Amino acid sequence: MNVFDSSALLAFLEGEAGADLVESALEAGGVCAAANWSEVNQKILAHARSWELARSLLTSYDLAIEPVTQADAEWAARRWVSGETLSLADRLCLALGHRLEAAVWTADRSWQGERIRQIR
């Protein structure tokens, strides 16, 4: 199982370094937390790109959007550290990966962990 952070999906959509790795992982299927899905949507719209096109491409893979559970929210809150670079969406993505015992794909170099797959 693969969990995709917004940074990994955006790297894929924009053809950045590591896009091929994300595509291979997408072909195996996976999930994206609703908070991260919203972040991808917002970034696409902020760059005046077509969300409909991006959404169609992403959903052409076996990619499910997973709601945030109460347990995910509480897990993410417990991992908040003042001054840390991880956003709430980042921590919710990690919470989903923890809950599903899945590899988490990100382009963010500051993430660390045994199931983190950094694409660049």
The predicted pLDDT at position 120 comes to 65
The predicted pLDDT at position 26 comes to 96
Token pair in block for residue 60? 């052409």
The predicted pLDDT at position 82 comes to 82
Cα gap 17→13, rounded to integer Å = 11
Tell me the pTM.
0.91
The predicted pLDDT at position 91 comes to 94
69-88 residue pLDDT tens: 999 999 999 998 887 778 99
Q: Which residues of the chain have pLDDT under 50?
A: none
Cα gap 90→2, rounded to integer Å = 15
